[in-house]
Amino acid sequence: MQRIFDVILRRERDEPLIPHCPDHHVEMVLRGKQGRPTRFSDQSEEEYTLIYYCPVEGCNQTATLQRLNTQIPVPGESPRRPDFARRNS
């Protein structure tokens, strides 16, 4: 919800899109994404966790960021669900 207010009010956040390693001060690399699909057809928001790691050999620093994917529903149409969340037809 906070991100929606930032877009509406045109506020700029100082958070970088890609985190930096606190030890080596280099941009971290995306390792993977964990997400939870919406459970009901009337929900229009999905939460994802992005997992980053430091590319320097021997460094064990990792970072996780929470991201929300928001879709404004179109009247009469439900948001598209991921294929793995659909029932087999």
What is the domain-level CATH number for residue 53? Answer: 2.20.25
Residue 53 included in any domain: yes
Give residue 53's pLDDT: 94
Give residue 51's pLDDT: 92
Categorize the per-residue pLDDT at 68 as very low, low, confident or very high, splitting at 50, 70 and 90. Answer: confident
Residue 20 included in any domain: yes
**Residue 33 contacts residue 49 (beta carbons within 8 Å):** yes
What distance in Å separates the CA atoms of residue 86 and residue 3, rounded to the nearest whole number?
28
Q: 32 or 41: whose pLDDT is higher?
A: 32
How many structural domains is the chain composed of?
1
Residue 7 included in any domain: no
Domain that holds residue 67: 16-72
In whole numbers, what is the pLDDT of the chain averaged over residues? 76
Give residue 47's pLDDT: 78
Give residue 15's pLDDT: 66
Residue 64 included in any domain: yes
Give residue 44's pLDDT: 63
Q: Are strands 45-53 and 62-70 parallel, antiparallel or unpaired?
A: antiparallel
